[in-house]
Amino acid sequence: LISPAYDPREPPVIKPKIPLIGHIISIATEASGYYQRLFKKYRLPICTLPVLNYKIYVINSPALIAAAQRSKTLSFEVFIRHFFINVIGVPQRESAKFADPKWLATVSKPLAAGLSGESLREIAAVGLGGIARELNAVTGEKGVRIGDVEGWLTDMLSRVIMRALYGEKNPLSVEVHRSIWEFDKKIFLIALGLAPKLFARKALAARDEIQKVLAPFYLNRLDEGEDVSAYVRNRAATKRATGTPSEDLAATEFDVAWASVTNTTPTMIWTFVSIFSRPDVVERIRTEVLSVTTIDNNTATIDYSRLQEQPFLNACWQEILRLYNDGQGTRFVIEDTVLRDADGQEYLLKKGAVALWTVGVSHLNDDIWGADAHEFRPERWLGLSPAEEKKQKGAMFPFGGGKHLCPGRMFAAIEIIGFVGAVALAFEVEDVTVPEMLTPYPGAGVRRWKWGPGGPGEVRLRRRKGWETMEIKFSTEGGIWDNSK
Ligand code: HEM
Is the distance from CB of 484 to CB of 162 less than 8 angstroms?
no
Is residue 241 a part of any domain in this protein?
Answer: no
Give the whole-angstrom CA distance, residue 417 versus residue 356.
30
CA of 408 to the centre of ligand 1 (A): 6
pLDDT at residue 485 tops 60: no
Is residue 153 a part of any domain in this protein?
Answer: no
Give Cβ neighbours of residue 394 (< 8 Å, ≥ 6 apart). Answer: 62, 63, 66
Give the whole-angstrom CA distance, residue 318 versus residue 270.
12
Is residue 33 a part of any domain in this protein?
Answer: yes
Q: What is the pLDDT of residues 277-291, one digit of tens each?
A: 999 999 999 999 999
Q: Give the model's confidence band at 482: pLDDT under 50 very low, under 70 low, under 90 confident, else very high.
A: low
Q: Give the model's confidence band at 342: pLDDT under 50 very low, under 70 low, under 90 confident, else very high.
A: very high
CA of 25 to the centre of ligand 1 (A): 28
Mean pLDDT for the stretch of residues 239-267: 96
Q: Can you tell me which atom of ligand 1 is nearest the CA of 412?
A: 27
Q: Give the model's confidence band at 405: pLDDT under 50 very low, under 70 low, under 90 confident, else very high.
A: very high
Which pLDDT does position 23 carry in this prediction? 94
Which pLDDT does position 141 carry in this prediction? 77
Q: Is 274 in the pocket of ligand 1 (CB under 6 A)?
A: no
Give the whole-angstrom CA distance, residue 357 versus residue 32.
9
Query: Is the model's pTM score more than 0.80?
Result: yes
Mean pLDDT for the stretch of residues 17-26: 90
Q: Is 316 annotated as a binding residue?
A: no
Q: What is the pLDDT of residues 105-143, one digit of tens each?
A: 999 999 999 999 999 999 999 999 999 999 999 987 788
Which pLDDT does position 453 carry in this prediction? 87
Q: Can you tell me which atom of ligand 1 is nearest the CA of 111?
A: 35
Is residue 349 a part of any domain in this protein?
Answer: yes
CA of 403 to the centre of ligand 1 (A): 12
Nearest CA to ligand 1 atom 31: 408
Is residue 157 a part of any domain in this protein?
Answer: no
CA of 80 to the centre of ligand 1 (A): 13
Nearest CA to ligand 1 atom 1: 264
Q: Is 83 in the pocket of ligand 1 (CB under 6 A)?
A: no
Pairing of strands 293-296, 346-349: unpaired
Which of 20-34, 125-139, 384-398 is least confident?
Answer: 20-34
Give the whole-angstrom CA distance, residue 54 versus residue 4.
7
User: Which CATH number do you get for residue 13?
Assistant: 3.30.43.20
CA of 293 to the centre of ligand 1 (A): 31
Q: What is the CA radius of gyration of the chain?
A: 23
Q: Is 86 in the pocket of ligand 1 (CB under 6 A)?
A: no
Mean pLDDT for the stretch of residues 314-340: 97
Q: What is the pLDDT of residues 69-101, one digit of tens each?
A: 999 999 999 999 999 999 999 999 999 999 898
Buried b / exposed e across 342-364, counting CB within 10 Å, b at 16+? eeeeebbbbeebbbbbbbbbbbb
Is the distance from CB of 302 to CB of 472 less than 8 angstroms?
yes
Q: What is the pLDDT of residues 200-250, one digit of tens each?
A: 999 999 999 999 999 999 999 999 999 999 999 999 999 999 999 999 999
Which pLDDT does position 442 carry in this prediction? 83
Give the whole-angstrom CA distance, residue 107 versus residue 242.
9
CA of 328 to the centre of ligand 1 (A): 12
Q: What is the pLDDT of residues 188-199, one digit of tens each?
A: 889 988 789 999
Q: Is 277 in the pocket of ligand 1 (CB under 6 A)?
A: no
Mean pLDDT of the chain: 94
Q: Is 408 in the pocket of ligand 1 (CB under 6 A)?
A: yes
Number of domains present in the structure of the chain: 1
Nearest CA to ligand 1 atom 36: 406
CA of 398 to the centre of ligand 1 (A): 9
Give the whole-angstrom CA distance, residue 107 versus residue 110.
6
Mean pLDDT for the stretch of residues 303-317: 95
Which pLDDT does position 1 carry in this prediction? 64
Give Cβ neighbours of residue 198 (< 8 Å, ≥ 6 apart). Answer: none
Give the whole-angstrom CA distance, residue 31 versus residue 109.
32
Q: Is 104 in the pocket of ligand 1 (CB under 6 A)?
A: no
SS (H, E, C) 117-149: HHHHHHHHHHHHHHHHHHHHCCCCCCCEEECCH
CA of 406 to the centre of ligand 1 (A): 4
SS (H, E, C) the chain: CCCCCCCCCCCCECCCCCCCCHHHHHHHHHCHHHHHHHHHHHCCCEEEEEECCEEEEEECCHHHHHHHHHCCCEECHHHHHHHHHHHHCCCHHHHHHHHCHHHHHHHHHHHHHHCCHHHHHHHHHHHHHHHHHHHHCCCCCCCEEECCHHHHHHHHHHHHHHHHHHCCCCCCCHHHHCHHHHHHHCHHHHHHCCCHHHHCHHHHHHHHHHHHHHHHHHHCCHHHCCCCCHHHHHHHHHHHHCCCCHHHHHHHCHHHHHHHHHCHHHHHHHHHHHHHCCHHHHHHHHHHHHCCEEEECCEEEEEHHHHCCCHHHHHHHHHHHHHHECCEEEEEECCCEEEECCCCCEEEECCCCEEEEEHHHHHCCHHHHCCCCCCCCHHHHCCCCHHHHHHHHHCCCCCCCHHHCCCCHHHHHHHHHHHHHHHHHHEEEECCCCCEECCCCCCCCECCEECCCCCCCCEEEEECCCCCCCEEEEECCCCCCCCCC
Q: Is 406 in the pocket of ligand 1 (CB under 6 A)?
A: yes
Cα within 13 Å of Cα(360), Cβ side: 26
Q: Is 370 left (phi over 0), alpha (psi -120 to 50) or beta?
A: left
Q: Is 264 in the pocket of ligand 1 (CB under 6 A)?
A: yes
- Most ligand 1 atoms within 8 A of CB, residue of 406, 415, 419, 484 to mutate: 406
Cα within 13 Å of Cα(23), Cβ side: 19
Is residue 131 a part of any domain in this protein?
Answer: no
**Domain span including residue 3:** 1-85+329-363
Percent of the chain surpassing pLDDT 70: 99
**Nearest Cα to Cα of residue 203 among 179, 174, 169:** 179
Q: Within its chain, how far is the Cα of 202 from the centroid? A: 23
Q: Give the model's confidence band at 483: pLDDT under 50 very low, under 70 low, under 90 confident, else very high.
A: low
Q: Is 111 in the pocket of ligand 1 (CB under 6 A)?
A: yes
Is the distance from CB of 66 to CB of 355 less than 8 angstroms?
no
Dihedrals phi, psi of 469, to nearest 5 degrees: -120, 10
Is residue 485 a part of any domain in this protein?
Answer: no
Q: What is the pLDDT of residues 436-476, one digit of tens each?
A: 999 998 888 999 999 988 888 899 999 999 999 999 999 99
Instruction: Give ipTM to 2 decimals.
Output: 0.98
Is residue 272 a part of any domain in this protein?
Answer: no
Is the distance from CB of 330 to CB of 191 less than 8 angstroms?
no
Q: Is 404 in the pocket of ligand 1 (CB under 6 A)?
A: yes
Give the whole-angstrom CA distance, residue 54 versus residue 51.
5
Give Cβ neighbours of residue 355 (< 8 Å, ≥ 6 apart). Answer: 56, 57, 59, 68, 74, 330, 331, 332, 333, 349
Give Cβ neighbours of residue 445 (< 8 Å, ≥ 6 apart). Answer: 262, 263, 325, 326, 327, 328, 398
Which pLDDT does position 4 carry in this prediction? 83
CA of 258 to the centre of ligand 1 (A): 10
